[in-house]
Structure 1
Amino acid sequence: MTSVKKKLADNQPVIGTFGKFSCPTAVEILGYLGFDFVILDMEHSSLDYSQIEHLIQAADAAGISTVVRVPGIEESPILRVLDTGSQGIQAPGVDSPEAARKVVEAACYQPLGSRGLSYSTRAARYTLKDKGQHLLACEQEQLVVVQIESKEGMDNIEEIAQVAGIDVLFLGPADLSNSLGIPGQTNHPLVQAALKRLCDVAKRYGKTAGTFVANREQAARALAAGVRYLAYDNDVSFFVQGSRTVLAEVKSLLKEQEAI
């Protein structure tokens, strides 16, 4: 399996989605369909660490990269999900360069950070992986994503982008719209201007631009702006949309039969 970080280094756009279901089968299906990555969501779901481990195991089997959106920027959740074998972490609410450095400190080994080192983890194959290879793999394959989702974060975007160890600047359009006083208006010109600025800053400082989209129009606009780390909706929405379509089709058939 080629890591998302390697694909991005080769200038390939990557397509993922948020995963909120605790069922490993859902993650497997996303992998078999050909998604590049799934963001396992510990911020806006009830997923716990044990479930995260099972979902990562399913992802590894299906050849899809995993990124875990941790519930905050504290050291403990970042360390725990990386030790579980996630290929990356996505930290919400990064509003300042100090917060960005805190994320890097927790996620990266020396010299970039001060992540606690243990070899009896799933990430290190329970001591079976060569120690040097484990450290090298973390350096070369581990993705660190910070979410910029407030006016303060956008005001500090230049400084955040200069923090070593950050790979992706990810615009959170929903929370940004809330911060700007236009809650839910993710297509508003102010939000779109922020996305364009984030993409420009990311390019200037050698970072990847990312964002969340919920439809084809938003995806096209994001890609045209320079986004290469694209999170398209989530598994819950996919299930609802598919189920609604099937139900509508069957109800339509029933009405046609009743009319005969």
Structure 2
Amino acid sequence: MTAKVLKKKLQDGECVYGTWVRIPAPVTVEVLGSAGLDFLHIDLEHSSIDLPMLDSMVLAGYSQGIPLAVRTASQNPADMYRIQDIGITSLMLPRIETAEQCSHLLSGIRYAPAGVRGLGGAVRANRWGAISLEEHLKEAEEETIVIVQIESQKGLDNMEEILDVPGIDVLYIGPFDLSQALGYTGQVTHPKVQETILAMIQSIRKRGIAVGIHVSTEEEAKYWAEQGVQYFTISMDIAFLRSGAASLVASLK
């Protein structure tokens, strides 16, 4: 699947499923990319993955034909298109709190006239110059997926204005960070947290923007799909590894 196909699925109202990658190794992308998921999220915000490692992980994603999204650790637009130049077409922007901040970051993701993404000459994103500039610009617009994450009270307060910013494909909800912002740290099933998420979903869907959320189980995914969520991250590489090992140890002992 390509990012373009993934984007079309969201526009058609279909659900898509991925998981988080925090282990800094291309083989992690290869293994999870062969599991049948729709995409993988590479987490630069909460891991030790750096740009050289990301470069190798992108090639592993190519080998499996799976789209990769990167959650950035930077608030610098130039860092966004540096990541795109090495072949990433989907970006998650965490800690978005104002429309101005969101617009500033999105400006680094799209080429003119929609943004100020720099033209890097021969880069992996344009097959090292093998395709024309016109074709590259067209592909970049068609395949770019922008995922905005609201995870603070300030972000909630400004959500309607943030949703007005052109170019947002997915508004992603992180229940753990949201629970902390609401004063119920870690209590993702608290009624206040659940009510807030449901209200967010309604507001986001009215704008024609897909809703994303992180879940830990199949049951959670089914529940939120019924509420209108389309874009799911389920668990993460570390959790899969640990749970598998812990289950084996428990059965042996």
* TM-score category, normalised to shorter length: over 0.9
Question: How many residue pairs get matched?
Answer: 251
Q: Which amino acid is 1:88 matched to?
A: S
Q: Which amino acid is 1:229 matched to?
A: Y
Tell me if 1:13 matches 2:22.
no
Aligned match of 1:192: 194
Matches within 5 A, 1:54-133: 54-133=56-135
List per-residue Cα deviations over 1:27-85 (Å, max 9, x = no partner). 11212111111110000000000111111111111011100000033213212111111
Rounded to whole Å, the distance in 2 between the matches of 1:198 and 1:84 is 33
Cα offset for 1:218? 2.3
Aligned match of 2:139: 137
Tell me if 1:213 matches 2:231.
no
Tell me if 1:158 matches 2:160.
yes
Cα offset for 1:102? 1.4
Q: Which amino acid is 1:103 matched to?
A: L
Unaligned runs of 5+ in 2: none
Rounded to whole Å, the distance in 2 between the matches of 1:54 and 1:235 is 17
Rounded to whole Å, the distance in 2 between the matches of 1:32 and 1:246 is 23
Tell me the TM-score normalized by structure 1: 0.93
* Contact 1:70/1:91, CA 8 A, preserved across alignment: yes
The 1:140–1:97 alpha-carbon spacing in structure 2 relative to 1, beyond 3 Å, is same
* Contact 2:78/2:117, CA 8 A, preserved across alignment: no
Report the identity percentage.
36
Tell me the TM-score normalized by structure 2: 0.95
Unaligned runs of 5+ in 1: 252-260
Cα offset for 1:9? 2.1
* Contact 2:40/2:68, CA 8 A, preserved across alignment: yes
Larger radius of gyration: 1
RMSD (Å) for aligned C-alpha atoms: 1.3
Q: Which amino acid is 1:55 matched to?
A: M
* Contact 2:99/2:165, CA 8 A, preserved across alignment: yes
Aligned match of 2:2: 2
List per-residue Cα deviations over 1:97-128 (Å, max 9, x = no partner). 11110121011111221111123211111111
Aligned match of 1:256: none
SS in 1 for 2:129: coil
* Contact 2:16/2:38, CA 8 A, preserved across alignment: yes
Instruction: Kindly report structure 1 stretches of 4+ aligned residues shifted beyond 6 Å.
Output: none
Aligned match of 2:247: 245
SS in 2 for 1:125: helix
* Contact 1:71/1:77, CA 8 A, preserved across alignment: no
Rounded to whole Å, the distance in 1 between the matches of 2:23 and 2:149 is 21
Rounded to whole Å, the distance in 1 between the matches of 2:75 and 2:202 is 25
Rounded to whole Å, the distance in 2 between the matches of 1:95 and 1:120 is 35
